[in-house]
Chains A and B, each alone.
Chain A
Amino acid sequence: MTYDVPVAPGEKPELEEFVEGAADGWPMWEVFVRARRGISHVHIGSLHAADARTALQNARDVYTRRGEGISVWVVPSSEVHAFEPEAAAEYVEANEKVYRLATTYEIPDEVGQM
């Protein structure tokens, strides 16, 4: 399996321990997106940013590829209070960049499913 990189003979399969306190990075934010008018915001994922403004910019870049008419909320992950939290992710696709659509590419039928 591709990402379970095999353990070579003689190597120890360490399942990792982490360095405490190292690498204090940007805090994490949860991202909510309303894909279009008439539906509600949906939790779509998370990202890291130093402040809310960057978090919003990043959220648009990462999760919406800047499609029009979309509403994006970001909330610091630490501010999410939960009771049996449910993370239901929905993928949002922007229409602008046509070459991202798999249907743009002409693949002859005899080649099979792609």
Chain B
Amino acid sequence: MAPEEKFQALVDAEEKIEPTDWMPEGYRKTLIRQIAQHAHSEIIGMQPEGNWISRAPTLYRKAILMAKVQDEAGHGLYLYSAAETLGVRRNDLQELLHQGKHKYSSIFNYPTLTWADMGAIGWLVDGAAITNQVMLTRCSYGPYARAMVRICKEESFHQRQGYEILIRLCNGTPEQKAMAQDALNRWWWPSLMMFGPNDSDSTHSEQSMEWKIKRVSNDDLRQQFVDMTVRQAEYLGLEIPDPELAWNEERGHYDFGEIDWEEFWRVVKGNGPMSRDRIEHKTRAWNDGAWVREAAIAHAAKKTATAA
């Protein structure tokens, strides 16, 4: 059997591809980019939430938020490790991020303006991420799928704590409830945008499906998310900012309005409200820390030299 045939046979049989297996160069490169961008998303995602650690309204909320953001760093780390099994180095991947050649999920290019945003992000953004991540636990590449299993176990606490924040706000003072509604108004459409363009406008999808890197289409995932989330919003007594949102009895799903694709592509291209800030922050932390990383290497080298 030719290597390509053996590879596809494994994929078709729902077997995992492992690092030492032969794989098409396109498969390898697509995975590197996707896993790396997933990792970058976790790391950049630390910033909008990290923004509220110092101002969390109670010590309990402060502790949870710190733990959540720390988890995200850990997820980034697991994912970079998975990418490295494909023969690249973590520092190289980060360099591509700093240069703007690698991207990250656009959702993090929006600002976190109020405490309610912490609830909205946990509920909507982590909710959308979970929808996607459960699918990725079935990805054909072993190390990525396994990293996703580990991440999914930790992720469900993230969504639940966000939703709980909103329950408190929606059952609180009128000011708190207004804060929650305002957050939903700002985060709803960006959350829908997380699922990418409509399938009809999505390049590469077919190949990714064949390689079982992608298991469910953008539109199907987005629909799944909307159906799940509308009920949750109703429970909170919040109104989703979409006048066209309506249950469609025939389809058995919610109909919803059209995404502002102009905004979508504008943010993808790097012109979102916080796009520059996120990269500047990441790059600054990296550059400011160079002397620390170098010191550790220098010290380790001295130790090795002494021992030798």
Binding site for B on A (CB under 8 A): 1-9, 11, 13-16, 18-19, 22-26, 28, 45-51, 54, 62, 82, 84-87, 89, 91, 93, 97, 99-102, 104-108, 110-114
Contacts and interface: CB of A to CB of B under 8 A. Distances in A.
B251 interface: no
B17 interface: no
A102 B147 CA distance: 19
B196 A23 contact: no
What range describes how many residues of B lie at the interface? 35 or more
Given A9-B265, A16-B101, A4 B91 contact: no
A46 B121 CA distance: 29
Interface string B266-289: 001100000000000000000000
B163 A112 contact: no
A6 B202 contact: yes
Top 5 nearest A-B pairs by Cβ distance? Answer: A23-B91, A50-B296, A105-B160, A15-B29, A3-B38
A102 B157 contact: yes
Given A19-B92, A23-B91, A47-B81, A2 B196 contact: yes
Contact of B106 (A5, A15, A84, A89): A5
A1 B214 contact: yes
A114 B196 contact: no
B157 A16 contact: no
Interface stretch (B3-11, B148-156, B173-181): B148-156
Nearest to B87: A18
B114 interface: no
Interface in B15-73: 18-20, 26, 29-30, 32-35, 37-38, 41, 60, 63-64, 67, 71
A85 B143 CA distance: 12
B103 A2 contact: no
Nearest to B268: A8
Contact of B228 (A87, A106, A112): A112
A98 to B, nearest CB: 10
Contacts of A86: 18
Nearest to A20: B92
Contacts of A19: 92, 95
Given A2-B132, A93-B153, A102-B157, A7 B91 contact: no
